[in-house]
Structure 1
Amino acid sequence: MLGFKSFRSAARTIAGIELLHMIKKGQLADNDNYNSDFDKFLGVLP
């Protein structure tokens, strides 16, 4: 692996990985607006 060119890109990648793990574990608040885990993921993105 070549690594990341900036700290910002590394931090965002790690944050995304942590978010996916939270979704997989079901740790996000369930709302009736979300139909699937992928919908939750899209709803959290800026």
Structure 2
Amino acid sequence: MLWTIIGLLVLFWIIGMVFNIAGGLIHILLVAAVIVFLFNLFKNKAAR
């Protein structure tokens, strides 16, 4: 489920960059994707 969210955030970021939507605020999507990825990474390490 988290990988789907990461993929969608990155996809929306790419679309935002291509069509120049929201200016600099579009980078928040990329930051959110990285945060979700790190959360998933640390959650999996803690479960081991």
Superposition TM-score tier, normalisation by shorter sequence: 0.3 to 0.5
Considering Cα pairs closer than 8 Å and 6+ residues apart, tell me whether 1 or 2 has the greater RCO.
2
Task: State the TM-score, normalized to the length of structure 1.
Answer: 0.47
TM value normalised by structure 2:
0.45
